[in-house]
Structure 1
Amino acid sequence: MIRTFLVLFVLISNMIFAQNKLNLIPYPQKVQLLQGEFAIPKAFVLSGDLPKEETEYFKKRIGSQVEFQYAKKGGEIHLTNSIIPQASGTDSEQKKEYYSIEISPKQIHIKSYTKQGYFLALQTLIQLIEQYKEGKNIPAMKIEDQPKFAWRGMHLDVCRHFFTVDEVKQYIDYLAMYKLNTFHWHLTDDQGWRIEIKKYPKLTQIGSKRKESMIGAYVDNTFDGKPYGPYFYTQEQIKDVVKYAQDRHITVVPEIEMPGHALAALSAYPELACTKGSFEPATKWGVFDDVFCPKDETFTFLENVLDEVIQLFPSRYIHIGGDECPKTRWKECAHCQELIKKNNLKDEHGLQSYFIHRIEKYVNSKGRKIIGWDEILEGGLAPNAAVMSWTGVNGGIEAAKSKHFAVMTPGAYCYFDHYQGDPQSEPNAFGGFTPLEKVYSYNPIPSELNAEQSQYIMGVQANLWTEYILDFKQVQYMIFPRLMALSEVGWGTSDPKNYKEFENRVINQFKVLDGMKVNYARSIYNITGKVIPSNNGIAYELSTSQNSNSIRYTLDGTDPSINSKTYQTAVEIPNSLTIKSAYFEEGQLKSAVSTQQFIISKTTGKKITLEQPSENYSFGGAFTLVDGIIGNVKKLGKTWLGFQGKDVVATIDLGQKTTFSEVYFNTLENKGSWIHLAKSAKIFVSDDNKNFKLIKEIGTPEIQKAGGKIKVNVGTQNAKYLKVTIENAGIIPAGNPGADSKAWLFVDEIGVN
C-alpha cells in the first residue's frame, strides 16, 4: 500500500534557485517547477494520521522555528489515502525509499510506500525550510525521488579513539540529514575492544584500555604517556544506539575484527593466539603479527561473541573485518601448518579463506550474512560473503564478476581520514589527499563491469579511521563537508562536470551547520594550488570557492598582506622559490595563508609516463613526480605517489638532448603503515625512447644509508629521455607490521641537475 501524507508548514524563506537548482543535498532525481507559490500560514498544520515517530523527529528538527498544530475535523485540510498495490521482488526493494512531494499554493502533499520513504521526504522538507526562511513563499513544485544505491554508508572507528553514546548519536543524525542509511560501527581492533560481551568480561576489563597512545606524526614515534580507557559501550548502550538509528531508518552494521587486528582481544584471552604471549592492547598505530589462531577454542570464542553481537544488532550483514592479517605467526605455528595439510590448503592465504568460510557458515546458520574488507578474497571467497572494496576497486570488480555483492569504498575517494586541504595548513591526518571535489567525482560502478555485473554493486561508503582524530570536534571537521559529496554520489545525482554548482549548494549548507555549531572544515575557502605544465616549465594555478580575482600572492616567501600581487592567471615558476597566497575581501585576510616551495630541476614540468600507475595515493598522477614540489615526510598528502607491491617505472621526456650529471628522487620509510624504502633503483638514458642504456644502479645499502633521499652522481650525460626504475621492497618480512603482505613504496620528485 502507498501512504499519502499531507503537511502544511510555516517559516520558509525567500531564496531564488541557484542556477535553477534548489539548495538540496543530495539533489533529487526529478524536480518540476509548477505555477504559483505556497502562501505560508502562521502555524505548521499537520493533517491526518501521520507516522508518529517520523513526524516527532520532524518537529524536533524544525524546533522553535515554527508552531505546530493538528487540523481538526472539518478543517481546511483533509488526509487522503491512496492505495496502490506494491510491486513484488526487486521493484519492491527499490520502492522502500521512494517518495514524492507536491507543493501547491494550498498544501504540501507527500507520497511514499513506506515510513522510510516518508522520512526521506521529511529530510527534503527540512532542507527546504532551511532554504526558504523569514516568512517568504516557496515556489510550487513537484519532486519525485529515490536513491540509486541501496547501501549509502559512513563508518566510524571508535577503537583508536573512543566517542560517547551522545556523540555517536550525533554522528547518526548527520547521516540522516543527508539521506545515508548505513552506519558501520568499527568496535574492535588492536588498540581497544569497545563492546561488552557478557560471556567474556575480560574483553572490556583488559582490552578496553591501553597504557598510552601514539601522538604526532608516525615517523616521530612519540607517545603521550597517558593511560587511555577503560572505554566501551555496555549492551544497554548498544541497544539504545541501535534503536536511535532505527528511528532514523539507519541500519547499524557492527564490525568484529578477525582474524587480524586482534591484540586487544588476545590481551584478555592470550590462549587464543598462536604463541603464549603475553599481550597488551597496542599503543602504536599500524598492523601487528599476533592474530587469532584458527583452533577450535578460538572459533568457539568467536561464535559466542557473535551470538551476543547478533542479538544486539538486527542488521542483515555482520562485518567480520578480514583485512591486514599478517601470516607470520601462522607460518611458525605447528597447529596452523597441520591444519593447512589436513584440509589440503595451498598456503596461509588458503588458511585465511578457511577461517572466513568457517565463520560465514556459522553466521549464515543464524540467518545473517557476512561482509568483510577485500582481503577476504584471499584464497577464495566464502559462498555468501559480500566484499567491502577498500584497497582500490579491484576487490569490488572481482566480487561482482563472481556474482558476490560489494560495497565500494576505495581509499583514494572514500577515506575521510585523508587530508582534504593543503596538508601544510590542515590538522595532522593519516595521509593521502582527498578533497571535496575528488569525493564528488567518484562513480561507484567500475567501468570494467557490464550491466548485469553492476547489479552486484550495493553502493558506496566512506570510512573514518581515528588514529589522528582525538575528539568529536575533529570527527566533525573530517566528515564535513565531504559527507555531502558522498551523499550525492550514493543517491546517484552527482555530476562532476557541474562541481562548482554543487560547491555552491555546499556553501549554503554551511549556514545550517553553523546553526548546529558543527566544526566543519573550511578548506574550500582556502587557496587550492595546482601545478600545470607551461612553455617555460611549470605554472601554478590558484583558485578558491570565492572570487579568484581576490587572491593575492608573493613569490619571495613574504606575507601576502604586504606588497603582494593580485592573482589573474597561472603564475609562472621560472626558478626555485616560495609562493605564498591568500584570499582577501575588502583588504581583509579571509583564508589561511597557503605556502608552497618549489625546487626546479631540468625534469620539472616535462612529460612523464608511468608503466604502473598508483591507485589509492595518486592525486595529480605521474606529473606529481616532476612538479617541482618535494614531499613532506610527516604529512603524506598530495605530494607523494604510493604503490602497493608495484615498482615505479617512470620515463621522462626532456624535450631535447639535455646535459646533466646528477639524478635525485625521494622514497619514504614508515613501517607501521607498511611503507618501506625502495629495494634498489636503476637509471637509464635514451635518445629515441626505445633503446635505453643503463648508466647507474644502486642497491639497498645505498638507499638505506641515504634514508630514502637519493642523490646519484651519474657522470656527464647528454640525452633526451630519462628512465628511472625504483624497485618495491616486495613482501614485508617477518617481524614487521603487515608481515607477509605487499609493501607500499612511496616516491616523490624525480629530478636531474
Structure 2
Amino acid sequence: MIRAFLLVFLLFSSTAFSQEKLNLIPYPQKVELQKGEFIIPENFKLDENLPVKETAYFKKSTAGMFTFSSGKKDEGVHLVNALFTPQPVIGQQKKEKYSIEVSSRGIAINSNTNQGYFLALQTFIQLLEQYKDSGKIPAMKIEDEPKFAWRGMHLDVSRHFFTVEEMKQYIDYLAMYKLNTFHWHLTDDQGWRIEIKKYPKLTLIGSKRKESMIGAYVDNTFDGKPYGPYFYTQDQIKEVVKYAQERHITIVPEIEMPGHALAALSAYPNLACTKGPFEPATKWGVFDDVFCPKDETFTFLENVLDEVIALFPSQYIHIGGDECPKTRWKECAHCQELIKKNNLKDEHGLQSYFIQRIEKYVNSKGRKIIGWDEILEGGLAPNAAVMSWTGIKGGVEAAKSGHFAVMTPGSYCYFDHYQGDPATEPNAFGGFTPLDKVYSYNPIPEELNPEQAKYILGVQANLWTEYILDFKQVQYMIFPRLLALSEVGWGTADPKNYKEFEGRVINEFKNLDKLGVNYAKSIYNVSGKVISSENGVAYELSTSQNQNGIRYTLDGKDPSANFQNYKNPVKISKSMTVKSAYFENGKLKSAISAQSFTISKTTGKKIMLEELPSENYSFGGAFTLVDGIIGNQKQLGKTWLGFQGKDVSATIDFGQKTQFSEIYFNTLDNKGSWIHFAKSAQIFVSDNGTDFKLIKEVGKEEILSVKGKIKVNAGLQNSKYIKVKIENAGIIPAGNPGADSKAWLFVDEIGVN
C-alpha cells in the first residue's frame, strides 16, 4: 500500500467545522468533516521514499506556494513520509481509489497504486488552494473512488491543429479534474496529422489544405488562406504520450475509416473507388469519397495501424466508423462483387465487413477497437466497443448485446455547441449545451438493468474544431463545462443541487485565472426561459449571481439606462425585444442578452408532437414551436428542433374556436450537415381534435422558392385545433453529402395570424 503521512505536531484546536461542501471538483464520494485543524507549514519536508513522478508533479503544481526539502524518517518531524508497498488491484476504479485523513497531527494519504496516490494529490492541491490564505485546513476524512472507469475528453486536431505544448496543457486540464482518457482525433477529411513513415505522402499532401470555411455554414464563405502543413512527428507523439502517462492519462488515438478519408485519399487516390483526383476538404461536413474495401486498402490501413499501435500503448484504438456515405460503394463494381461474394445484405453489411476485418487485425496485435455508434450498422464486430454519440441508442444496443460502450451523446457531451446565448457567444457549430445540462447527464441509460449497466465504461465529451481557430478558443469551449463532466464521470454529480455545484465552479475560476485560462463566463450572464402563462408566454430570467442584480428593458434598448429591476417573469403580450444583463454595484458584469418575440395566435398554446425531435436538438421540447421565438438561420442553438429521418406532425390547441388566415414556419437547408428543406407541408383544421380537414398543401417547389421561409395563406378559418404536417426530405439523394442517409429536418416557430 502506498501510505503517505503528512506529519506536523500542532496544538489541537477544538474548532468544529460545518458540514457544508468543500470547494472540490469533482466532489469526493465521502467527506466527513471533524473537529480540529491542520496548520499549513511554509516548508514541506518530503521523504525520499515518496513515488518520484507523482511527487514531482505535486511540487510543480504548488510551486510558489511552499518550499520543499527532503530527508529521512529518523531526521525528526517530516511533513511527508511514505511507506511504499503497492498491492495488485482488479478494476480501473479500484486502481484510482484513495483516502485522505486530515487531523491536528497531520495529513495521511492512502492508496494501493501510484495512480490513486496521484488522484489524491489532485484533491490535496485543491484543499491547499482553498485554505492557503487562512493557513489551516479543517480536520476531515475523505474516502474516494470514481464510479466510471472511462472519464474522457476528445479533441479534433484535423480541422484545426494545436501544438505539442498546447496538447500538454490540454492533458494538464484533464489531470487537474481527474479525467483519465484523452481521445486524440488525428485524421479526417480536412487534415492528416500523424507521421506514418511508410506513407510519407500522408503528411506531405494530406496535412495541408488550400483554404478553410469561415462563418456560419449557410454563408458558404472561405478565408482564401492556405492551412498547413501541420502534423505531429512520431517523436512528438511519443513525447505527448509520455507526458500523459506521467499524469496517469491514457491517450486513445483515432484513425478514421472507412469514411472521413479525403486527406488520406488525396495522398493515395488508389485507395478510393474512383480515380480522383482528391484534395483535403476545405468545407466542413461529410463527403462521398471514402476508403474502398479492397485488399490494397486493407494493406495500407494495417501498415498505418502497425505504426499507430507502436506509438500508443492504449488498450483501445479508435477507428471512427461514423458518417460513411455508401454512394461510391453502390456505384463500385468491386464493392458490389464483394457484397455478393460474402453474402452481405447491402452496403451497410459491407461496412460491417470492413470494420470486422480491421478489428480482427487489431485484435491480432493484442488491442481492441472502439468506434462511433455507426459501427453497429450491419452488425457489430465481435469484440468492438461503441462510442455512442448520436444519442443513447447505440450505447443501449451495445450494452444489451454484451459490448462495452462509452456514452457521449451530442445533446449533453458536445462542447462545440453553444453554452450561452448564441447571440453573445463566438460562432459555434450549433446546438445548445449549457453547464447545467452537462451536469444533469446520467451515463447509465434507464433502459438497462444492473447487469447490462456494467457494460457502460463511462462518459466522454467531444470538442470538434471547425470553428475553433486557436487554443484560447479551445479553453473557452471546454471551461467550465469540463468541470461538470468531471463530476458526472466521478459519479458525484447531483443535478438537484446544481446551484451548489455552480458556486464551486465560480470559486474555481480563481484558479483558472491564475493559470491564464480563457474560460467562458456565460455562467454570469442572464439566461432566459420562455414559460407558459395565462393567455400566452412569460420570460423567466435568472443568473448564477444575486437575482436582484438583473435589469431588463422591453423596447430593445440597453438596460444600462431606463431599465426595470427584475422581480417576476416578464409577461410577453405583444411582439417585442427583451434585453437583460446582470449588474453589480451599478456596474455591468455580464454580456447583454437580447431576445426578440414574435407573438401570434399559437404563442403559448398547448402543442403535441407525434414524433419527438432528435435528442441533440430538442431543447425546450415541443413548446419551442410555440414560444414566440423565430429561429436564427445562422445559429442552430436553442430555437430550433431537429428531426433526423422523421416528419413533423404538430397539433396545436387554441383552447377555443379561433379565426386565422395565415400560417408560417421556417425550415433550414444546410446540406453539408445533412440538413434539407422540407419536402412538402400540409395544414389541417379540426373542432374536436380528432377529425381533421385538409385546408392547404405546400409543395417542394414553393418551399424552395421561398428558401424555407414558409407563409401560407389559407383563407379565413375558424377552428379550435390546427395540425401542421411537415414532410422530411427522406433519404439524401446521390451527389449530396451523406447520400443514402436520413436527412435532417429543422423547424422553428409555427405561427398563426
TM-score (norm 2): 0.97
Q: How does 1:528-543 map to 2 (within 5 A)?
A: 528-543=527-542
Deviation at 1:17, TM superposition (A): 7.9
Aligned to 2:659: 659
Displacement of 1:46:
2.2
Partner of 1:458: 457
Secondary structure of the corresponding residue to residue 311 of structure 1: helix
1:714 equivalent to 2:714? Answer: yes
Tell me the equivalent position of 1:732: 732
State the distance in 1 between where 2:87 and 2:155 align. Answer: 39
The 10-residue stretch of structure 1 (454-463 or 78-87) with the greater mean CA deviation from structure 2: 78-87
Residue 488 (str. 1) matches residue 487 (str. 2): yes
Q: 8 Å contact 2:413–2:461 — kept in the other structure?
A: yes
SS state of the match for residue 560, structure 1? coil
Report if the CA contact (8 A) 1:156-1:186 is conserved: yes
- 1:691, distance to aligned residue in structure 2 (A): 1.4
Are residues 1:668 and 2:668 paired?
A: yes
Alpha-carbon distance in 2 for matches of 1:479, 1:262: 27
1:493-549: CA deviation from partner (whole Å, max 9, x where unpaired): 001000000000000000000000100000010110100000030000111110111
Q: Deviations over 1:313-367 (max 9, x none)?
A: 0000000000000000000000000000100000000000000000000000000
CA distance in 2, matches of 1:553, 1:605: 22
Pairing of 1:321-360 with structure 2 (within 5 A): 321-360=320-359
Q: Which residue of 2 aligns with 1:525?
A: 524
How far 1:40 moved relative to its partner? 2.3
Structure 1 CA distance, aligned partners of 2:450 and 2:305? 36
1:675-717 Cα deviation digits (max 9, x unpaired):
0001111111112221111111212111111111111011111
Alignment of 1:600-611 (within 5 A): 600-611=599-610
Aligned equivalents of 1:239 and 1:83: distance in 2? 30
Q: Structure 2: which amino acid aligns with 1:225?
A: G
SS of equivalent residue, structure 1 residue 540: strand
Deviating more after overlay: 536-545 vs 304-313: 536-545
In structure 2, C-alpha distance between the alignment counterparts of 1:362 and 1:430, rounded to whole Å: 35
CA contact (8 A) 1:8 1:44 kept: no
CA apart distance, 1:79: 3.9
One-letter code aligned to 2:419: Q
Counterparts of 2:84 and 2:314, CA distance in 1: 31
List per-residue Cα deviations over 1:715-753 (Å, max 9, x = no partner): 111111111111111111111111111111110000100
For 1:440 and 1:18, locate their aligned partners in 2 and report how far apart those are by CA, in whole Å: 25
Question: Where does 1:240-389 land on structure 2 (aligned, <5 Å)?
Answer: 240-389=239-388
User: Matched residues in 2 for 1:41 and 1:408: separation?
Assistant: 43
Q: How does 1:111-122 map to 2 (within 5 A)?
A: 111-122=110-121
1:499 and 2:498 correspond: yes
The amino acid of 1:544's aligned partner reads T
User: Counterparts of 1:293 and 1:37 in 2: how far apart (Å)?
Assistant: 66
Query: Counterpart in 1 of 2:76?
Result: 75
Separation in 1, partners of 2:82, 2:467: 53
Residue 572 of structure 1 aligns to a residue whose secondary structure is strand
- Give the match's secondary structure for 2:750: strand
* Equivalent-residue separation in structure 2 for 1:17 and 1:691 (angstroms): 67
CA distance, structure 2, for counterparts of residue 282 and residue 139 of structure 1: 57
SS at match of 1:284: coil
Alpha-carbon separation, structure 2, partners of 1:501 and 1:444: 21
Q: Which residue in 2 is equivalent to 1:107?
A: 106
Partner of 2:646: 646
SS class of match (1:63): coil
CA–CA distance in 1 between the matches of 2:608 and 2:709?
22
CA RMSD of aligned residues (A): 1.6
Q: Could you tell me whether the CA contact under 8 Å between 2:49 and 2:82 is conserved in 1?
A: no
Q: What's 1:549 paired with? A: 548
Superposition deviation, residue 7 in structure 1: 3.0
| Unmatched segments (≥5 aa) in structure 1 | none
Change over 3 Å in CA distance of 1:662–1:280 after alignment to 2: same
In structure 2, the residue matched to 1:37 is 37
| 1:8, distance to aligned residue in structure 2 (A) | 5.5
SS of the equivalent of 2:300 reads helix
Residue in 1 aligned with 2:566? 567
After TM superposition, list the pairs within 5 Å mapping 1:147-186 onto structure 2: 147-186=146-185
The residue number in structure 2 matching 1:65 is 65
Q: Is the 8 A contact 1:7 1:47 kept in 2?
A: no
- In the aligned structure 2, how far is the partner of 1:16 from the partner of 1:22? 14
- Measure the CA separation in 1 of the matches of 2:530 and 2:617: 17
Contact 1:28 1:146 in 2 (8 A): yes
- 2:310 partner amino acid: Q
Which AA in structure 1 matches 2:639?
A: T
Equivalent-residue separation in structure 1 for 2:716 and 2:319 (angstroms)? 57
Partners of 1:460 and 1:536 lie apart in 2 by 42
Match of 2:436 in 1: 437
Offset at 1:82?
A: 8.4
For 2:31 and 2:545, the matched residues in 1 are separated by: 27
Counting aligned pairs with the same residue, the percent is 79
Amino acid at match of 1:359: I
Residue 688 (structure 2) pairs with residue 688 (structure 1): yes
Distance 1:80 1:282, change over 3 A: closer
Q: 1:231 to 1:86 in 2, by over 3 A?
A: closer
Aligned match of 2:741: 741
Residue type at the aligned position of 1:577: M
Query: Using the alignment, how far apart are the partners of 1:687 and 1:18 within structure 2?
Result: 61
CA distance in 2, matches of 1:667, 1:362: 45
Residues 93, 148 of structure 2: 8 Å contact kept? no
Q: Secondary structure at the residue paired with 1:688?
A: coil
Task: Give the drift of 1:116.
Answer: 0.3
Q: In the alignment, is the contact (CA less than 8 A) between 1:639 and 1:748 conserved in 2?
A: yes
Question: Does 1:190 find its partner at 2:194?
Answer: no
Tell me if structure 1 keeps the 8 A contact 2:40–2:132.
no
CA deviations on 1:31-58 (whole Å, 9 max, x unpaired) are: 0112200022231222351100000001
Structure 1 residues 39 and 264: CA distance shift in structure 2, 3 A:
same
Displacement, 1:135? 4.7
Contact 1:196 1:204 in 2 (8 A): yes
Contact 1:273–1:293 (Cα < 8 Å) also in 2: yes
Q: Which moved more, 1:293-302 or 1:16-25?
A: 16-25
Q: Which amino acid aligns with 2:401?
A: S
Give the AA of the match of 1:721. Answer: Y
Q: Aligned partners of 2:261, 2:483: CA distance in 1, in Å?
A: 33
Instruction: Verify the 8 A CA contact 1:101 1:111 in the aligned structure 2.
Output: yes
Corresponding residue for residue 697 of structure 1: 697
Task: Indicate if the aligned counterparts of 2:287 and 2:737 stay in contact, CA closer than 8 A.
Answer: yes
C-alpha distance in 1 between matches for 2:450 and 2:585: 53
Distance 1:434 1:16 in 2: 40
Q: Matched residues in 2 for 1:457 and 1:344: separation?
A: 33
CA shift, 1:70, in A, is: 2.5
- Given that 1:9 and 1:45 are in contact with CA atoms closer than 8 Å, whether structure 2 keeps it comes out as no
Secondary structure of 2:749's counterpart equals strand
Q: Distance in 1 between matches of 2:746 and 2:253?
A: 33
Give secondary structure in 2 for the equivalent of 1:623: helix
Q: SS of the counterpart of 1:292? A: coil
CA pair 582-79 structure 1, distance change in 2 beyond 3 A = closer
1:22 corresponds to 2:10 = no
Name the CA distance, whole Å, in 2 between partners of 1:466 and 1:121: 33
TM-score, normalising length from structure 1?
A: 0.97
Q: Secondary structure at the match of 1:508?
A: helix
Distance 2:324 2:125 in 1: 45
Tell whether the 8 Å contact from 1:6 to 1:48 is kept in structure 2 after alignment: no
CA distance in 2, matches of 1:17, 1:623: 46
What is the one-letter code of the residue matched to 1:631?
G
Q: How far is 1:74 from its partner?
A: 3.6
Question: Following the alignment from structure 2 to structure 1, what is the Cα–Cα distance between the partners of residues 238 and 708?
Answer: 50
CA contact (8 A) 2:391 2:409 kept: yes
Q: Assess, with a 3 A threshold, how the Cα gap between structure 1 residues 611 and 232 changes in structure 2: closer, same or farther.
A: same
Q: CA deviation at 1:185?
A: 0.2
Partner Cα distance (2:84, 2:588) in 1: 57
Report the Cα distance in structure 1 between the residues aligned to 2:164 and 2:215, rounded to whole angstroms: 27
